[in-house]
Each structure stands twice: as C-alpha cells, then as structure tokens.
C-alpha cells in the first residue's frame, strides 16, 4: 500500500555544463524586467558575477548587485541586504553563490515584500503578501537550498538557526551549472558534499518520508555516492561536479518533501555553541545516528537497499553505514573537547530541534547525550 501524500512545489531545473548562459531566457520567461543579484565577494573574485551581469545586460535586463553576503547570515545581515534592496528598482532576485547567498536572497525577499523581522517568519507559511520571483544559481553542491522554500537565518542574540519557510519563497528556477561549481576551496566542497549526502540519508529514513521524497533521496544518493569519495580525496574527475550539484539539488527536493533527522538535530547546537562548521558537525554525528537508526526495521531495510546501490555506483561491498563511517574518517575532524556538563547542555539543545522529531528512532535529551558521547570519543582533544 502506498501512503497518501501531497507533493510540494518544485523549481524548474536547468542542468548542464555552461547553462549559466540560459539565465537571460530564464529571467524573460518569468515576465520580469530587472534583477537584484545577491552574491558574495568570493563569487565576485571568481568572475561569475561579471559573467552573469554581462549575460543579462547584453539581453537588455538591468542588474543591481548586492555582493556583501556573509557566511551563515544573521537577522542583521538579512536586514542590511533589504535596506539596499529598498533603494533599487527591480522585480526579480537572482541568488548566485553558496547556501548563504541563497538564504540571504530568500530572507531579503521576506523582509522586502512582507516587512517585519525574520523571526516573524520562523516556521512555515507566515508571509501573507506576494513575494518576488527568485532564480537560484548554486555554486556549491551542498545545502539544496535551491530546491527548498526555507531561508536559514541565525538569530542576532544567541546564534540559533531559524528556519523561515513559505511556498512563495521557493525559487522559480534553479540553474545548475557544474562549470561554475569548480571554484570553491576543497575543504568547502568536502563539507558541503558530506552535508548533501546527509540530506539524502536523513530524509530517506525520516518518519515524514513519502513515496516521492524517497525517490528524490535515492536518486540523490546515486549521484552523490559516485562522486563524494573523489571530492574527499581531492581527485575530482570529469563528471564528479555534475553528480554532486545534481545530487545536492535532488536532496533538497527530498528534504522539501520529507524532513531531516537526529544528525542535523545534534549538529545545530555544535554550530551555535562551538562554531563547528555545519558540514563537519553533521559528518561527525551521521555514522552514530545511522547505527542507532538501524534498530528501526524500516530504516534498516532502506539502509540495506542503499548498500546494494553502492555496489553499482562505486563497486563497493561495504555496508552503507561502514562506507559512511569510512568517508567521515577521511575528512578533517573538528578539534573538540566537551565535558559531561557541556554534553548535557548540547543534548538539551538538540532535543529542542524541530528536525529531530522526525528521526525514525525517537530521541529525548539522554539519547542525544549518548550520541554526543559516542561521537566525541572518536575525536582528538583540541
């Protein structure tokens, strides 16, 4: 029997080497006439902003540029972008960059069209007014934000990440061009790549999974598993970037139609309290969460199916969990020590994370504390 579900909207995907050149026609088909391009300084230095601007201007589309996106944008960062946007005449956002550029553009869209503060939109569906169309052009394969209706923005006071979602915030179009995803530093590619893998694996077993999200998660896993080992080893081959970029976008669709789980619930407090980069925090926790989840018969069956996929994609006979643990063991781990009192604080913060409620094995604070203990036991002291 197939459980009932309702699919969530999805952006049009434009995928392929060199498809950035399709940007003017993507703008044109939205019936808009001018663009605010939201990006960061790294993307400016890589030359992609000038390429995008030239393409648009050559087609008679005026472009304004906000190039001050900060990593892990805060409420203040979103407000600053919005202040600039208020002084500019435009009717379409183009977000060009990593997850932070996409989050900043979405957050700016909430504030510009609906007013207030980002905390007003924490949760889902709280924007009453229409929002401007968004074209997302990710240059890192990771967050899958290009396929999600949420902006992740940190609170100014305590660094807590707020997920602010609305169907109107979803990109109309996502342009996935592997040619412009090759300028990120290797460590960034590794951290964001592992995060994309975790998105596929957590959404695959989430209790919110549907027939559709399961298809997206499995397709994402097929692509990411082919390439992530090369990305980690710094031996990127021909199609690896394409596999990662497409896999990350499909993972984003899987999350949009499902949810995440305990690895993300554990990772968020590590980032908020200790500044551990999101991808590293997720990687640290993922194998331990998967070992726990394997006690759930449905999750175990799904992991088993994914172990078989590995035989096709990387001709590997390891089980899925051993393969993930092996991958994580090959990346740089955060230097870290946490005493028992800090573990309890982390665990109680993890227990309040919305995403943790959808893990196949239900967890309370003591369960999260056990996960942290087993993960930290593998780390070298800072």
Closest distance to Fe ion from the beta carbon of 191 (Å):
10
Burial class of residue 68 (count of CB atoms within 10 Å of its CB; 0-12, 13-18, 19+):
middle
Q: Is 103 in the site for Fe ion (CB under 5 A)?
A: no
146 versus 195: smaller Cβ distance to Fe ion: 195
56 versus 260: smaller Cβ distance to Fe ion: 260
Count of C-beta atoms within a 10 Å radius of residue 238: 9
Give 258's DSSP letter. S
Cα(36)–Cα(355) distance, rounded to whole angstroms? 32
**Residue ranges in 341-370 that form contacts with Fe ion under rule CB under 5 A:** none
Length of the chain: 382
Beta strand 35-38 with 12-15: parallel, antiparallel or unpaired? unpaired
Closest distance to Fe ion from the beta carbon of 212 (Å):
20
Q: Is 146 in the site for Fe ion (CB under 5 A)?
A: no
SS3 224: helix
**Which range, of 63-71, 154-162, 193-201, 316-324, touches Fe ion by CB under 5 A?**
193-201
Closest distance to Fe ion from the beta carbon of 269 (Å):
14
**Which range, of 187-195, 233-241, 323-331, 344-352, touches Fe ion by CB under 5 A?**
187-195
Closest distance to Fe ion from the beta carbon of 272 (Å):
14
77 versus 195: smaller Cβ distance to Fe ion: 195
49 versus 281: smaller Cβ distance to Fe ion: 281
Helix extents (H) in the chain: 23-29, 41-45, 48-58, 75-86, 99-114, 186-205, 211-233, 240-256, 262-274, 278-293, 297-313, 320-329, 340-351, 365-376
Closest distance to Fe ion from the beta carbon of 17 (Å):
26
Smallest Cα–Cα separation from 304: which of 218, 193, 180, 213? 218
142 versus 242: smaller Cβ distance to Fe ion: 142
Torsion of CA 136, 142, 145, 147, to 10 degrees: 80
103 versus 195: smaller Cβ distance to Fe ion: 195
Residue 152 dihedral angles phi and psi, to the nearest 5°: -95, 120
16 versus 159: smaller Cβ distance to Fe ion: 159
Cα(96)–Cα(239) distance, rounded to whole angstroms? 22
Give 74's DSSP letter. B
Burial class of residue 157 (count of CB atoms within 10 Å of its CB; 0-12, 13-18, 19+):
exposed
Please provide the DSSP assignment of 128-190 as one string: -S----EEEEESSSSS-GGG-SEEEEE-TTT-PEEEEE-GGGS-SEEEE-GGGSS-S-HHHHH
Beta strand 150-154 with 134-138: parallel, antiparallel or unpaired? unpaired
Closest distance to Fe ion from the beta carbon of 264 (Å):
6
Number of chain residues interacting with Fe ion (CB under 5 A)? 1
Closest distance to Fe ion from the beta carbon of 142 (Å):
8
Residue located via tokens 């008679």 = 60
142 versus 360: smaller Cβ distance to Fe ion: 142
Closest distance to Fe ion from the beta carbon of 196 (Å):
8
Using CB positions, name the residue nearest to Fe ion. Answer: 195
**Which range, of 149-157, 189-197, 222-230, 337-345, touches Fe ion by CB under 5 A?**
189-197
Q: Is 195 in the site for Fe ion (CB under 5 A)?
A: yes
55 versus 289: smaller Cβ distance to Fe ion: 289
Cα(369)–Cα(51) distance, rounded to whole angstroms? 48
Closest distance to Fe ion from the beta carbon of 163 (Å):
11
**Which range, of 101-109, 155-163, 166-174, 188-196, touches Fe ion by CB under 5 A?**
188-196
**Which range, of 163-171, 191-199, 233-241, 310-318, touches Fe ion by CB under 5 A?**
191-199
Q: Which residues bind Fe ion (CB under 5 A)?
A: 195
């Amino acid at each position: 029997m197939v459980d009932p579900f309702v699919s969530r909207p999805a952006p049009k995907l434009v995928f392929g080497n060199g498809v950035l050149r399709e940007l003017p026609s993507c703008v044109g088909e939205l019936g808009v006439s001018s663009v605010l391009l939201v990006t960061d300084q790294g993307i400016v230095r890589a030359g992609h902003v000038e390429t995008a601007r030239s393409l648009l201007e050559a087609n008679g589309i005026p472009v304004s540029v906000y190039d001050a996106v900060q990593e892990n944008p805060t409420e203040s960062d979103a407000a600053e972008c919005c202040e600039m946007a208020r002084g500019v005449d435009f009717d379409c956002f183009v977000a060009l960059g990593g997850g932070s550029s996409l989050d900043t553009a979405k957050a700016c869209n909430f504030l510009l069209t609906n007013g207030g503060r980002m905390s007003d939109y924490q949760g889902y569906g709280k924007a009453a007014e229409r929002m401007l169309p968004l074209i997302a052009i990710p240059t890192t394969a990771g967050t899958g934000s290009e396929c999600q209706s949420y902006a992740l923005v940190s609170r100014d006071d305590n660094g807590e990440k707020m997920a602010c979602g609305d169907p109107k915030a979803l990109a109309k179009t996502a342009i996935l061009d592997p040619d412009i995803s090759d300028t990120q530093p290797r460590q960034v590619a590794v951290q964001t790549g592992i995060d994309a893998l975790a998105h596929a694996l957590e959404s695959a077993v989430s209790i919110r999974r549907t027939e559709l999200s399961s298809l997206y998660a499995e397709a994402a896993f097929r692509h990411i598993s082919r390439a992530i080992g090369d990305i980690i080893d710094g031996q990127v081959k021909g199609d690896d970037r394409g596999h990662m970029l497409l896999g990350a976008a499909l993972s984003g669709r899987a999350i949009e139609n499902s949810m995440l789980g305990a690895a993300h619930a554990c990772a968020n407090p590590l980032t908020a309290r200790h500044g551990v980069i999101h991808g590293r925090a997720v990687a640290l926790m993922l194998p331990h969460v998967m070992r726990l989840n394997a006690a759930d018969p449905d999750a175990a069956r799904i992991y088993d199916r994914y172990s078989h996929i590995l035989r096709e994609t990387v001709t590997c006979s390891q089980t899925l969990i051993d393969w993930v643990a092996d991958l994580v063991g090959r990346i740089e781990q955060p230097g870290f020590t946490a005493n028992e009192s800090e573990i309890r604080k982390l665990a109680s913060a993890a227990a309040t994370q919305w995403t943790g409620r959808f893990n196949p094995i239900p967890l309370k604070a003591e369960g999260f504390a056990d996960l942290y203990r087993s993960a930290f036991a593998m780390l070298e002291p800072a």
